Amino acid sequence: MSYESKILQQLKMPSRKQVEQVLLRVLLKHGGVIKEFGSGQDVVDEIANEFKLDEIQRTAYLKTIYHEENRIKKAYVWHRLLFRAADSLSKEKYVSRPTLTYQLTNKKEWMLTESGLDEALKLSNIPPQKKAILPIKSFEVQKIVNRIKELPRPDNYEPFDKEKKSIKVTRETILRTRGFRQAVIEAYCYRCAVCGMKLNTPDSLSWEVEAAHIVPHSAQGRDDLLNGLALCHMHHWAFDVGWYTLQNDYTIKISPKVHSLPPDFGMFGEYSFLRELLNKCIKIYLPKRAGLHPHHNAILWHQQNVFHK
Q: Among 209, 175, 179, which residue's Cα sits nearest to residue 193?
A: 209
| pLDDT tops 60 at residue 286 | yes
Between 162 and 152, name the one with better pLDDT: 152
105-145 confidence digits (pLDDT tens) = 999 999 999 999 999 999 999 998 888 888 899 999 999 99
CB neighbours (10 Å) of residue 108?
13
| pLDDT tops 70 at residue 215 | yes
**Among 62-71, 104-113, 199-208, 279-288, whose mean pLDDT is lowest?**
62-71
**Among 1-10, 166-175, 192-201, whose mean pLDDT is lowest?**
166-175
26-65 confidence digits (pLDDT tens) = 999 999 999 888 766 788 999 999 999 999 999 888 876 5
List, in order, residues 6 or more apart from 54 with CB less than 8 Å away: none
Task: Give the helix/strand (H/E) hosting 305.
Answer: helix 296-305
Per-domain residue ranges for the chain? 3-92, 189-305
**b/e code 273-292 from CB counts within 10 Å (16+ = b):** bbbebbeeebebbebeeeeb
- Cβ pair 137, 33 in contact under 8 A: yes
- pLDDT bucket at 166, cuts 50 / 70 / 90: low
- Cβ pair 113, 96 in contact under 8 A: yes
Between β-strands 267-268 and 33-35, what pairing exists: parallel, antiparallel or unpaired?
A: unpaired
- pLDDT bucket at 78, cuts 50 / 70 / 90: very high
| pLDDT tops 90 at residue 206 | no
- Cβ pair 255, 200 in contact under 8 A: no
- Cβ pair 40, 79 in contact under 8 A: no
pTM of the model: 0.83
Task: Give the helix/strand (H/E) hosting 213.
Answer: strand 210-213
What pLDDT does residue 99 have? 94
Under DSSP, the state recorded for 133 is T
What pLDDT does residue 94 have? 98
